[in-house]
Structure 1
Amino acid sequence: MDPVEYGTLYQTLQRTAARWGNQTAYGVPPMAGRAYHPNGRTYGWTETLALADAYKDVYARAGYGPGHRIAFLFSQRPEFLFHYYALNVLGCSVVPLNPDYRHEEIRYVVEHSEACLCVVIESRLEDIRVACHGLNVPAVTLEDFPPRLPEPRLRPRDGGPDGATEAALLYTSGTTGRPKGCILTNDYFHTWGTWYAGAGGVTSLRPGQERMYNPLPLHHANCLGISLSGMLVTGGALFFPDRFHASTWWKDLIECGITALHYQGVIPNVLLKMPPGPQERQHQVRFGFGAGIDASQHAECERRFGFPFVEFWAMSETGRFITDNIEPRLIHTRAVGRAVPGLEARAVDASDQDVPDGQPGELVLRHSEAAPRKGFFSGYLKNEEATETAWRNGWFHTGDQVTRDANGMFYFLDRTKNIIRRSGENIAAAEVDECLVAHPKVKQVAVLAVADDLREEEVMACIVPQEDATAGPDLARELFDWCNERLAYFKVPAWWLFRADLPVTTSQRVHKIQIFPAGTNPCRQPGVVDLRGMKKAPAKTAAH
């Protein structure tokens, strides 16, 4: 069945509920002390449909319909999914907010997306009100969702939803500083689901049998796009904790009967460093699916934990992945997969010419020559220039460097975009640059990625202070606090280095690749200030 034949996500939910009935659709593992479902909670497909219908009636009575966007700050609450389907049947789009965002970041997304309502957990209601002051966007709580909602400011568009209707707007970091809003349709999510269902090999999905565990946030495409859509079209169950917890990882997998899981590179790294225990071989996991596992750890992970860790490559924009899921897998390399029908791939130079096998090039993708954008995102909201730049010459330009071998296998090298990848979060260095340069004691700044054994990459700031500022640990802490008040904690630089000057190009832009000689470890430079110990996620309140 072609993804475009599925219609809306709600229609697929109806079909799946009719076939799989009371089988588990979604689940939250137990976690003592958590404010929501501390004993765990599961929802069947029939129950999920009924709850979606109940919320649909509330939104419909208030006048919500096609063209309306609703922002959600839900911190992994499973209730979000019932709103997701309820709004989908009405033709509305959801805008998930990263719970680590600060006020300025929340305000930007709500204003840029033109959201007409915010639905948030009780503990973040005041944050939303402060962030959205003056925007005339009402907010209601997820826990005490009212039977009557404020009416939207604008009337809905005429007509009903279909496959081409926007279902979600996910914001992803870009090189221009501010996140870009990816417009994602019903067809896009169905492409993810059917692609996953048809991938086969080690990652084959058995209809109605899989119980998938994804500790990555639902406001990312990995969980919302890949895992959720894959389970929706195959009738499997999706379990998700509030976040990755190494201490309860194996317990969750065993108690929830997990058969497949998703990971980021940091997760197997952490698990390998834990003392061996009997639980790590008492599970029913058939495969792990993820990105970023260290090639030097790959074989040991599979030997110790007893299941394959299958690498794939994807972006929020692509709606599908390439993966090294066919045996024999190349687990001692950084292989990420081959082009397959429905996803053509090349490695190209700056002129979009194919590079020879074995030479680095940018990974570019398309569905086919006849329909290059089929199944991909629909574009960046209010940024046609960025959309067309990404799609130049009929291929989507990923900004990632790869090599290709004679057998068509692609090997991931690095990101050419100015993106820092920290524990699964994409951080735009330009956004951190912008924050720091606004400080009165900063003359010039270059934010860049440095290697991190645990988190893949960490954030470093190279600062040229103003003449009247004193460089050193005190200034580093002052700038750290400045960033920490304005940015999500994971974006704040952990390493700080003060310089008298920074190299610049002829256009007077900082030439980041010339700051340190090749082979230099920036973190070991004289005078570097290490504030990794100060970089911590905000403490969770009882309501979290």
Structure 2
Amino acid sequence: MNTESPLRPQERTLPAMLARQAREFGDRPFLSVPGAEWRHRDAAQVAASRGAALRAAGVGRGDRVAVMCSNRAEFIETVLGCGWIGAAAVPINSASMGPQVQYLLADSGARLLVIEDRFVERLATADLGQTALQRIWVIGEGGSMSGPPARERWPTAAEPVEPESVEPGDTLAVLYTSGTTGPAKGVLCPHAQYYWWGVHSADVLSITQADVLCTTLPLFHINALNTVAQAAVTGCRAVLLDKFSASGFWPAMQGCGATVVYLLGAMVPILLAQPPGPAEREHRVRTGLGPGVPATAGAAFLERTGVTLLEGYGSTETNFVIATAPDSPRRGVMGWLRPGFDARVVDEADNELPAGTAGELVLRADQPFVFASGYFGRPEKTVEAWRNLWFHTGDRVVREADGAFVFVDRIKDAIRRRGENISSWEVEQVLMSHPSVAAVAVYPVRSELAEDEVMAAVIPREAGALQPAELAAFCESRLPKFAIPRFIDLVAELPRTENGKVQKFKLRERGVPPGCWDRAAPRP
């Protein structure tokens, strides 16, 4: 592993990264994104010109600029321009509707909103008067231009300006969590964290200048932004596609010459559900990131495509802390701790637990500003998450004897019933093993005894092919009695974020719907 830094501590900022790109990699291809083809030497020029336009719009050091658009050049320009002048970009999930957009704008205090024309109509249901917004830049020729606040078309680049004297700990972006357990929190991501994301991810994937990185993931997510960082620090090329298509995935990889791909857990089963074909082998892809991919799916993917998917662990607040490698002794684990980080598995009082015992994963880094600085405007949440000088991930894991970390569940997804702690993840694995189950979410609901009851929202593979009583009986030989779901709700879909995470807080808030099957109800 090689995680040595090519930049000195004070140079771990976006402007310094871009200057090094231009100096070291020059005319090598850097980025292909709808609307632009850039070489490495172009990145600093783009940042300087867009930074000048932002300054002309009244954006200064420390200000926040919200951006809501698809994978396009303007998104990257906004992030680079903000970093160049010491402002912070605030990416907004492109699936957000008016109320969510209003919340994110108000919470971040953004003064400028950069928005793609096809999303402008969503502002009609947002009370922008409750935000600090002063102006809106609209990308494209559509969208309503009537305010307030003042609206104008995406301005042309201005005369380049010199970079602000930013520090590694200054905020480059405020990335909002997906809100799977409550209202979204803005994570303060410093310049150095973004730099180290690129360094560590490139090391995990063994990226060289010869690689072509390709992602279909959205730029408002750290995964896709990190892909750009990987290319910036290694001198290779990144290709950002506008969306994921199961039928078009392999032709797209072949078309751009991709050697490294980025897949979320749910994307792999979707690809495997496609009819096998020659396109799965007619490509240059050698490896990819596949966090959350079940071991069996990863093995099937390798057999069909020849691509080894690496597991890993990181979060918006941390970095690429835990990972597997192509030669890892086994699969089905999160991976092993990487150089530059420390990890513990602790109990509720932060006491370290022995190997083999489940507890919360807590993390810290050796270098400054490798992790996020906290939560924007929420000092109490920052103190809670970083208490005792460790970042508390909220994930329950097991550290095994060989040092491998195994994910159990989110701590807030754990269920306590009849004095027993129940892992929602373990119940989900049993339910998913039923041949008629397509997807499932297990979560706690309150019972008449003021304790947790186990509830499962289940998507059947085919309508009418599954009965709740049959599924409960299926669990009897596979789960402890106290862990068998009491309530089973057959549903058409599960609430998810843009990144595919199930929003269990929405299911918990819904409670037990009328007519839901109840294992404890009297039977005729």
TM-score range, shorter chain: 0.7 to 0.9
Instruction: Check conservation: 1:62, 1:148, Cα contact below 8 A.
Output: no
Deviates more, 1:190-199 or 1:356-365: 190-199
Identity value in percent: 30
Identify which of 118, 122, 129 aligns with 1:123: 118
How far 1:220 moved relative to its partner?
Answer: 1.1
How far 1:461 moved relative to its partner?
Answer: 9.9
Identify which of 343, 352, 355 aligns with 1:354: 352
Instruction: Check conservation: 1:313, 1:321, Cα contact below 8 A.
Output: yes
Instruction: Check conservation: 2:323, 2:338, Cα contact below 8 A.
Output: no
How far 1:504 moved relative to its partner?
Answer: 6.1
**Residues 267-317 of structure 1, C-alpha deviations (whole Å, 9 max, x = no match):** 111111111111111111121112111122222211211021110011110
Identify which of 520, 524, 536 aligns with 2:484: 520
How far 1:321 moved relative to its partner?
Answer: 2.6
Runs of 5+ consecutive residues of structure 1 not aligned to the other structure: 29-35, 150-158, 420-447, 463-500, 506-510, 538-544
AA paired with 2:308? P
Instruction: Check conservation: 1:3, 1:194, Cα contact below 8 A.
Output: no
Alpha-carbon distance in structure 1 between the residues aligned to 2:269 and 2:317: 27
Task: Please give the secondary structure, in 2, of the residue aligned with 1:389.
Answer: helix
How far 1:411 moved relative to its partner?
Answer: 1.1
Instruction: Check conservation: 2:395, 2:410, Cα contact below 8 A.
Output: yes
Equivalent residue runs for 1:329-348 within 5 Å:
329-331=329-331, 333=332, 335-348=333-346
Equivalent residue runs for 1:451-490 within 5 Å:
451=428, 458=441
Q: Rate the CA distance shift 1:410–1:191 in 2: closer, same or farther, 3 A.
A: same
The normalised TM-score by structure 2 is 0.76
Counterpart residue number, 1:229: 229
How far 1:418 moved relative to its partner?
Answer: 4.5
Instruction: Check conservation: 1:96, 1:219, Cα contact below 8 A.
Output: yes
Counterpart residue number, 2:173: 168
Instruction: Check conservation: 2:341, 2:363, Cα contact below 8 A.
Output: yes
Equivalent residue runs for 1:21-100 within 5 Å:
21-28=26-33, 42-100=37-95
AA paired with 1:26? L
Q: Does 1:502 align with 2:430?
A: no
Alpha-carbon distance in structure 2 between the residues aligned to 1:118 and 1:290: 33
Alpha-carbon distance in structure 1 between the residues aligned to 2:495 and 2:386: 40
Instruction: Check conservation: 1:175, 1:418, Cα contact below 8 A.
Output: no
Task: Please give the secondary structure, in 2, of the residue aligned with 1:196.
Answer: helix
Q: Rate the CA distance shift 1:176–1:266 in 2: closer, same or farther, 3 A.
A: closer
Task: Please give the secondary structure, in 2, of the residue aligned with 1:345.
Answer: strand
AA paired with 1:213? C
Task: Please give the secondary structure, in 2, of the residue aligned with 1:297.
Answer: helix
Counterpart residue number, 1:377: 372
How far 1:241 moved relative to its partner?
Answer: 1.8
AA paired with 1:341? P
Instruction: Check conservation: 1:103, 1:128, Cα contact below 8 A.
Output: yes
Q: Rate the CA distance shift 1:521–1:286 in 2: closer, same or farther, 3 A.
A: same
AA paired with 1:204? S
Task: Please give the secondary structure, in 2, of the residue aligned with 1:191.
Answer: helix
Alpha-carbon distance in structure 2 between the residues aligned to 1:532 and 1:58: 43
Q: Does 1:213 align with 2:214?
A: yes
Runs of 5+ consecutive residues of structure 2 not aligned to the other structure: 141-152, 159-163, 415-423, 457-480, 499-524
Counterpart residue number, 1:474: none
Task: Please give the secondary structure, in 1, of the residue aligned with 2:247.
Answer: helix
Counterpart residue number, 1:388: 383
Counterpart residue number, 2:17: 12
Equivalent residue runs for 1:156-195 within 5 Å:
160-174=165-179, 177-195=182-200
Instruction: Check conservation: 1:129, 1:139, Cα contact below 8 A.
Output: no
How far 1:148 moved relative to its partner?
Answer: 9.9
Instruction: Check conservation: 1:3, 1:187, Cα contact below 8 A.
Output: no
Alpha-carbon distance in structure 2 between the residues aligned to 1:522 and 1:55: 56
Instruction: Check conservation: 1:73, 1:97, Cα contact below 8 A.
Output: yes
Alpha-carbon distance in structure 2 between the residues aligned to 1:386 and 1:282: 49
Instruction: Check conservation: 1:73, 1:120, Cα contact below 8 A.
Output: yes
Alpha-carbon distance in structure 2 between the residues aligned to 1:176 and 1:258: 35
The normalised TM-score by structure 1 is 0.73
Q: Rate the CA distance shift 1:276–1:147 in 2: closer, same or farther, 3 A.
A: closer
Identify which of 140, 145, 148 aligns with 2:137: 140
AA paired with 1:281? R
Task: Please give the secondary structure, in 2, of the residue aligned with 1:532.
Answer: coil
Alpha-carbon distance in structure 2 between the residues aligned to 1:321 and 1:97: 25
How far 1:416 moved relative to its partner?
Answer: 1.1
Aligned pair count? 435
Q: Rate the CA distance shift 1:314–1:64 in 2: closer, same or farther, 3 A.
A: same
Instruction: Check conservation: 1:26, 1:42, Cα contact below 8 A.
Output: yes
Q: Does 1:401 align with 2:396?
A: yes
**Residues 412-451 of structure 1, C-alpha deviations (whole Å, 9 max, x = no match):** 12111359xxxxxxxxxxxxxxxxxxxxxxxxxxxx9994
Instruction: Check conservation: 1:125, 1:139, Cα contact below 8 A.
Output: no
How far 1:236 moved relative to its partner?
Answer: 1.8
Q: Rate the CA distance shift 1:522–1:213 in 2: closer, same or farther, 3 A.
A: farther
AA paired with 2:352? D
Instruction: Check conservation: 1:348, 1:354, Cα contact below 8 A.
Output: yes
- Larger RCO: 1 or 2 (CA < 8 Å, sep 6+): 1
Equivalent residue runs for 1:194-273 within 5 Å:
194-199=199-204, 203-206=205-208, 208-224=209-225, 226-273=226-273
Deviates more, 1:160-169 or 1:112-121: 160-169
